[in-house]
Amino acid sequence: MTISELEKWEERIFELVQSYGLNPYPQEFEICDHFEMIGYMAYSGMPARYPHWSFGKSYEREKMMYDYGVGGLPYEMVINTKPCLAYLMRDNTDLLQILTMAHVYGHNDFFANNFTFKSGIDAQYVIDMFRNHAARIRQYIEDPSIGQCAVEDIIDAAHALSLQRSKNYAIKELTPEEEEERLIDLAQPAPDPWENIHPKPVYIHPALNKIPLSPDPNLLKFIARYSPTLQSWQKDILSIVDEESYYFIPQIETKIMNEGWASYWHHKILNALNLSQEHQMEFLIRHNQVLRPTPGGLNPYHLGFVIWHDIETREKLAPPTFPDSSENNSPGRKKIFQVRETDRDSSFLRRFLTKDIIRELDLFRHEKRGKDRVITEVADENNWETVKKTLITNVGMGSIPTISVIDADFGQSRTLYLRHEYDERELQLDYAERTLSHLKCLWGREVVLETTLNGHPTLLKFVDNTLKTERIN
Amino acid sequence: MGAIFRPHVNEEKRSDRSAGDRTRHRQKIRESIRGNIADILSEESIIGHDKNKIIKVPIKSIKEYRFIYGENTPGVAQGNGNSKPGDVIQKGNPGDPDAAGEAGNNPGVDAIETDITLDELIDLMFEDLELPDLQKKAFKEVESKRSLKRKGFRKQGIRQRLDKRRTAKSRIKRLLAVSKAMGVNSESLTDGEERFPYHKDDMRYHHVTIDTKLESNAVIICIMDTSGSMGTVKKYLARSFYFLLYQFVRMKYQEVEIVFIAHHTEAKEVNEEEFFHKVESGGTYISSSYEKALEVINARYHPSLWNIYAFHCSDGDNFYSDNDKALAKADELCEVCNLFGYGEIKPAGTAYYSGSMLDVFKNITKANFQAIIIEKKEDLWPGLRAFLLKDAAVKDALGTSAHENTQDQAKP
């Protein structure tokens, strides 16, 4: 499709986008071939990114999958920036380009309105931020007193910890001063209407000379701030990786909602475009390819799409609050617009994944038994809630263990003491071992991690290049 | 307010942005293979295999580690409509703990396996090793590297080296020149029936020079104990050691001579085939082999002309009466050799009830004598490295530690 044809279609799509009340950022499309697409995938779609071998690795993997025809390339890739930047594959069929543009507008609207994205990094500055980071890291690499290997070591370690951070963007991160205030407030005895009669409650002043004051899950930030050994360029690299991961968290947190939302809208828009019969046929085929359920897995496009439709339909049944009967003002439509602003995957599923959907999709809970994976619960009357609960714990950042710094001076020896919040999921030990070794490199002192293994509280230490486990009694 | 479309940029104008990161990734793969060579060698039987045998090398350090949940984490997936509790959705693959297209939310398994050929592996192993203390000696020079190198272009040459691109260019140049001289449009010379054929003068050929790097002449003397006390395991270890050494010499130096000496109570010079495959028996006089080596050196490889490297592998189970003589001869060998290496083969469990030459050789004070102990397959590679490491400082450090190590271990 030539650019002018694309522009014509885009005009029609954008009209519909506006008439439905979607509120996206300005949109930009870049036409690329499949090599460039693989390249953009390796660098998470960013036009500029700092050099690191892991991007080369993901390029090789995508390329290999593409060459062997294992994984098809996505038709499109879209990144959360303002203006919103999307890549269209040159070789897509006409219908695919139309479908993709409509889909991209769905994502774009989600980026522009969902609270996780809005409370993250300002989308205007994203590309500049990545470019700036790339320049800084290149500068360190070219600095003869630092060089590639030293930079790589720090980036490797930082990547290992980049997802260890607070998970909910709705919770404000407090400065140490605010934290102090909060602790003092908490220590105040509760107001008591009978205080004249009751004995005076004992006020215990909270321990305020401890670091951190309360468990801190932001490991990179913590280390950059308190590590006694890191140089300023090393701290700078940690903050670069930390900032970039801050940018990516909303996408991890809203995968199901976001893909469902984009699919919901491409479906609506394409049905309203009055496509030719040929295009309509191809649309149905492609739409079903993208949204088909995958037995043995879970297709986020499908799950999201089903839930969004379900919310709208159920809400429709409620009596309209005022007599405007247009589709845009229907209670169902209003509801989904509201939900796309206020929720993330875990809350979305908790609020809107009903028993009926779970049963319709035949979701089940599975577990490792010996060497096999076995279904433990299906969505019957007694167990559907277990299935739902398991799903919610595993979506978004739920798949990342929560690990916080408890004490930066454990045993008065500057040992970094971490605690894994055990929720019946154990850590993978070989991964924990290497990650601890990265942590130890950054901290420059001993690091211990408290976790639970086989039901027993256990300390993990990285000593003499191996992992040592020690039961806590 | 429509969207902005940016057209596709032509391939030539684009840079291959991931090239640097891909190269770095591949370097890391190579490094990681090199780091695991000892493990790979101990897992694979390499002797006598085809050079193109493909070895699967699991790479561990290229994984990107994070804190993740283990395999016993429950997950949720979708069924096809009639799932029942107890259904197996994924069969475990014994022996492959990573085999898992885990349904749902576990991070993708990051294991990479790389296939390399034995030849490549050997290439990787010996990249940074050289014959130590190689000195320039008179007369015969050894060609250590011989390669063809492109250097410029010529109008004459052989067919295989024809540079088509340059040839075509020079034809076009001539075409333009001719058309200008004739005052006609160049297209009129080529259209229709008219051809503008290639001329002999248009031909351009790569010019190739031979690039030789000269090293001093060297001979390697491999001495192996083939006595009765050398059981199957010991022989296997000794042969593996020499096999590696032999591969190293063949890869690095074009014209290094190799002498094979096998000994029990008496020593004789044998050929490669016999050395690696023949089985013998009998008692052990180590001194006999050293005498033989000295004899060969005196006859054919005079120390003033040759760099001499002698290596001896034995289980150290020498006749007691021969020890003094062996020591004297070893001393003599050290005099004439650049390096004399002694590897004692002591598979685990045999060290306690058999003699050791390490105690005897402790008395050799020459700097160019090195002794190592080989207990298991994993020791082969570090041992050989200790002998051959290029960097003298590192070699010293490794060599002495290997030596101390041997003494500790040799104590009953």
d(CA A87, CA A83): 13
Instruction: Tell me the one-letter amino acid at B166.
Output: R
Q: Are residues B196 and B255 in the same domain?
A: no
| Residue A137 pLDDT exceeds 90 | yes
Q: Which residue, chain included where needed, has tokens 């046929």? A: A281
| Residue B362 pLDDT exceeds 80 | no
Neighbours of B178 (CB within 10 A): 13
> pLDDT tens digits, residue range B219-272?
888 888 887 777 777 877 887 788 778 777 777 776 678 888 888 888 888 887
| Residue A241 pLDDT exceeds 90 | yes
pLDDT band at B393 (very low <50, low <70, confident <90, very high): very low
> pLDDT tens digits, residue range B41-76?
655 555 555 556 666 655 554 778 899 998 888 889
Q: Are residues A7 and A68 in the same domain?
A: yes
Give the residue-averaged pLDDT of A347-354: 94
Give the residue-averaged pLDDT of B31-48: 64
> What pLDDT, on a 0 to 100 scale, did the predictor assign at position A347?
94
* Highest-scoring range by mean pLDDT, B63-77, B350-364, B394-408: B63-77
> pLDDT tens digits, residue range B3-13?
888 888 776 66
- Cis peptide bond N-terminal to B382, omega within 30: no
Indicate whether B262 belongs to any domain: yes
Tokens representing A167? 């998970």
> What pLDDT, on a 0 to 100 scale, did the predictor assign at position B97?
40
Q: Which helix (DSSP H) or strand (DSSP E) does residue A347 occupy?
A: helix A345-352
CATH number at residue B304: 3.40.50.410
Q: Which of B26, B76, B83 to mutate to test the interface with A (most CBs of A within 10 A)?
A: B76
Tokens representing B127? 């990249």
| Residue A227 pLDDT exceeds 70 | yes
Per CB-CB distance under 8 Å, the chain B contacts of A54 are 21, 25, 64
Q: Are residues A320 and A405 in the same domain?
A: no
Are B105 and A160 inside 8 Å of each other by CB? no
Indicate whether B245 belongs to any domain: yes
Mean pLDDT of chain B: 74
Instruction: Tell me the one-letter amino acid at A454.
Output: N
Q: Are residues A316 and A369 in the same domain?
A: no
Are A374 and B88 inside 8 Å of each other by CB? yes
Q: Are residues A26 and A110 in the same domain?
A: yes
Per CB-CB distance under 8 Å, the chain A contacts of B93 are 371
Compare B250 and B352 and report the one with higher pLDDT.
Answer: B250
Per CB-CB distance under 8 Å, the chain B contacts of A426 are 69-70, 72-73
Which stretch of A83-87, A161-165, A444-448, B247-251 has the lowest confidence by average pLDDT? B247-251
Indicate whether A143 belongs to any domain: no
pLDDT band at B412 (very low <50, low <70, confident <90, very high): very low
d(CA A23, CA A9): 19
Q: Which helix (DSSP H) or strand (DSSP E) does residue A462 occupy?
A: strand A456-463
Are B77 and A363 inside 8 Å of each other by CB? yes
Q: Are residues B293 and B375 in the same domain?
A: yes
| Residue B395 pLDDT exceeds 50 | no
> What pLDDT, on a 0 to 100 scale, did the predictor assign at position B397?
43
> pLDDT tens digits, residue range A54-111?
998 888 888 877 877 666 667 788 999 999 999 998 888 899 999 999 999 999 999 9
Indicate whether A163 belongs to any domain: no
Q: Are residues A296 and A391 in the same domain?
A: no
Nearest CA of chain A to the CA of B137: how many Å? 40
Q: Which residue of A has its CA nearest to B69?
A: A427
Indicate whether A233 belongs to any domain: no
Q: Are residues B257 and B164 in the same domain?
A: no
Nearest CA of chain A to the CA of B397: how many Å? 21
By the CB < 8 Å criterion, does A297 face chain B? yes
Per CB-CB distance under 8 Å, the chain A contacts of B100 are 373
pLDDT band at A262 (very low <50, low <70, confident <90, very high): very high
Instruction: Tell me the one-letter amino acid at B243.
Output: F
Give the residue-averaged pLDDT of B104-127: 57
Indicate whether B375 belongs to any domain: yes
Give the residue-averaged pLDDT of B383-394: 62
pLDDT band at A140 (very low <50, low <70, confident <90, very high): very high
SS3 of residue B160 by DSSP? helix
Q: Are residues B303 and B380 in the same domain?
A: yes
> What pLDDT, on a 0 to 100 scale, did the predictor assign at position B64?
86
Indicate whether A445 belongs to any domain: yes
Nearest CA of chain A to the CA of B226: how many Å? 40
State percent of chain A over pLDDT 90: 62
Q: Are residues B173 and B219 in the same domain?
A: no
Are B76 and A426 inside 8 Å of each other by CB? no
Q: Are residues B221 and B186 in the same domain?
A: no
Nearest CA of chain A to the CA of B74: how many Å? 5
Are B86 and A299 inside 8 Å of each other by CB? no
CA distances from B331 to A143, B361, B368 (A): 52, 9, 10
Q: Are residues B305 and B353 in the same domain?
A: yes
How many structural domains does chain B have? 3
Neighbours of A332 (CB within 10 A): 20
Assign residue A370 a region (left: φ > 0; alpha: ψ between -120 and 50; beta: otherwise).
Answer: left
d(CA B256, CA B243): 15
Nearest of A68, A107, A118, A67 to residue A85 by alpha carbon: A107
ipTM: 0.89
Are A14 and B3 inside 8 Å of each other by CB? yes
Q: Which of B59, B71, B73 to mutate to test the interface with A (most CBs of A within 10 A)?
A: B73
By the CB < 8 Å criterion, does A368 face chain B? yes
By the CB < 8 Å criterion, does A248 face chain B? no
> What pLDDT, on a 0 to 100 scale, did the predictor assign at position A473?
76
Q: Are residues B193 and B266 in the same domain?
A: no
User: Which domain covers residue B55, as residue numbers?
Assistant: 36-41+51-62+113-124
- Cis peptide bond N-terminal to A300, omega within 30: no
pLDDT band at B193 (very low <50, low <70, confident <90, very high): low
User: Which domain covers residue A368, as residue numbers?
Assistant: 353-398
Q: Are residues A304 and A324 in the same domain?
A: yes
Indicate whether B163 belongs to any domain: yes
Compare A341 and B139 and report the one with higher pLDDT.
Answer: A341
Q: Are residues B188 and B219 in the same domain?
A: no
pTM listed for this prediction = 0.71
> What pLDDT, on a 0 to 100 scale, did the predictor assign at position A70?
65
> pLDDT tens digits, residue range B275-316?
777 767 777 788 888 888 888 888 888 887 788 888 888 887
Are A362 and B89 inside 8 Å of each other by CB? no
| Residue B386 pLDDT exceeds 80 | no
Residue B186 buriedness (CB in 10 A; 0-12 / 13-18 / 19+): middle
> pLDDT tens digits, residue range A366-413?
998 888 888 988 888 888 999 999 999 999 999 999 999 999 999 889
Compare B274 and B350 and report the one with higher pLDDT.
Answer: B274
By the CB < 8 Å criterion, does A214 face chain B? no
Indicate whether A441 belongs to any domain: yes
Nearest CA of chain A to the CA of B122: how many Å? 25
Q: Are residues B221 and B293 in the same domain?
A: yes
Indicate whether A214 belongs to any domain: no
Q: Are residues B336 and B395 in the same domain?
A: yes
Q: Are residues A363 and A435 in the same domain?
A: no
Indicate whether B99 belongs to any domain: no
How many structural domains does chain A have? 3
Are B71 and A428 inside 8 Å of each other by CB? yes
Q: Which residue of B has its CA nearest to A55?
A: B21
Indicate whether A174 belongs to any domain: no
Which of B211, B230, B251 is a domain's end point?
B211
By the CB < 8 Å criterion, does A159 face chain B? yes
> pLDDT tens digits, residue range A302-324?
999 999 999 988 876 665 555 55
Nearest CA of chain A to the CA of B402: how many Å? 20
Q: Are residues B191 and B178 in the same domain?
A: yes
Compare A244 and B270 and report the one with higher pLDDT.
Answer: A244
Which stretch of A23-32, A120-129, A355-364, B122-131 has the lowest confidence by average pLDDT? B122-131
Give me the sign of the Cα torsion angle A210, A215, A219, A222.
negative
Instruction: Tell me the one-letter amino acid at B410.
Output: A
> What pLDDT, on a 0 to 100 scale, did the predictor assign at position B106?
37
> What pLDDT, on a 0 to 100 scale, did the predictor assign at position B271?
83
> What pLDDT, on a 0 to 100 scale, did the predictor assign at position B109?
41
Which of B194, B211, B228 is a domain's end point?
B211
- Is the separation of the CB atoms in B398 and B386 below 8 Å? yes
Nearest of B220, B245, B231 to residue B347 by alpha carbon: B231
Indicate whether B101 belongs to any domain: no
Indicate whether A219 belongs to any domain: no
Q: Are residues A322 and A359 in the same domain?
A: no
